[in-house]
Structure 1
């Protein structure tokens, strides 16, 4: 299998912030509250937000008392996250890096990876992300992934998806690869009278497959929830999988 196509710089930039800006409001607050309750967080917990983006969850969890670190590859997002942290009067450490090679071992009580930030790479590299997350956790620490519930998504998978902000829009042309279980996307971005196109793809996962991958990465106690924190059903749009690094 060839390396999946993924234009990181083309996808994660100012256009992304512009078209997904609603994530910084009520949805982000609700997700931070869900993470807090579902993972049983308390003030002082040391938490890594893996692929933290512009800090929409990192800063909210910091405001609740977590000792937050956010890692992301995109410098623009990290700069915005730091600016927002300063404006909100919260403390968070933001680090530029690759989730396939984390600079920490036995450091965090919790690692989270939210909003389908897992599945960008080849299967070998996706597995490496899980192994790196385990290494970054202290023994007994917890890992949580949030991503599409494929059982639900396949029923509503669309060839074309349009997102519009005023006169601007993105048009995503989707192509499902059933052999490698990836969704390939050609995105056309029309903003301020300019048009550009990018390509990327994301891996889809079933729960049994992810459970096996997590076990192989050294995790145990795998549990699965819907996006409301209740046990996962086919009606949930998204799913959350938690796992624990065993005590040593």
Structure 2
């Protein structure tokens, strides 16, 4: 499986998803703080933070929150005041001391990029970074709705960029292949997004195997109840067991 994410998260990505801005992030973070008050204090990692829209909202409440992302381009787009609180790195090799975090947030589907084995290993590793009782927030796709509403092909223009997207379900993954054309120059490039499509019950079972228990869930950024038939998201609050894993 190619590591598509290494070359994709750049200025073109930011242009395509520009509608997801600070207001949406503020709503999501406020909901998270109401459901998991422990995120309001202590070291909290915004993992795959991008340009920091959720981190900026979280730091208004929690001055110990910090972010990490693999993309140099997205990190460079972060506001100047966030720069001291940003790290660059691969989520599979995090430079963070075990048991040091009160929380980890993964906003806007940064989970499921890897193989099943690597995804499970990532959950186990994140669990190990949390303090007992610490919370992992997992903002993920609603698999049932993705399947029911899949648009196989569409075209749109974002900030001078024409995007032709083709979507398919392949080997339990949702795959989106895009052809990007810059209207000013005619230059084109091809990019891919590929995410393992887990049902919520599969995520909960995988988390439990890694020492994380579901303490709550939501179906949208406003905190609505999760409904498999209609919710746009599955947002799980996974709490580290108080006892050491394996006991």
- With the length of structure 1 as denominator, give the TM-score of the two structures: 0.88
SS in 1 for 2:53: coil
Answer whether contact 1:115 1:146 (CA < 8 A) is retained: yes
Deviations 1:65-88 (A, max 9, x none): 34111111111222222xx142xx
**Aligned-residue CA RMSD (Å):** 1.9
Q: Kindly state the Cα deviation for residue 58 of structure 1 after the two structures are TM-superposed.
A: 0.6
Mean CA deviation greater in 222-231 or 135-144: 222-231
Q: Which runs of 5+ in 1 are unaligned?
A: none
Measured after TM superposition, the shift of residue 117 of structure 1 is 0.7
Equivalents in 2 of 1:196, 1:169: separation in Å?
11
- Which structure 2 residues correspond to residues 126-141 of structure 1 after superposition, within 5 A? 126-141=119-134
Alignment of 1:23-172 (within 5 A): 23-41=20-38, 43-81=40-78, 84-86=79-81, 93-104=85-96, 105-172=98-165
Q: Relative to structure 2, which stretch is displaced further, 162-171 or 18-27?
A: 162-171
Q: Is the 8 A contact 2:55 2:66 kept in 1?
A: yes
Residue deviations 1:202-236, cap 9 Å, x none? 11110111111001111124433211323311211
1:231 matched to 2:225? The reply is: yes
Judging changes above 3 Å, is the alpha-carbon distance between structure 1 residues 215 and 42 closer, same or farther for their aligned structure 2 residues? closer
- Paired with 1:211 and 1:19, the residues of 2 have a C-alpha distance of 31
Give 1:29 shift.
Answer: 2.0
TM-superposed deviation, 1:91: 7.7
Say if 1:138 and 1:238 are closer, same or farther in 2 by CA, change over 3 A.
same
Aligned residue in 2 for 1:245: 240
Return the alpha-carbon distance in structure 2 between the equivalents of residues 125 and 42 of structure 1: 26
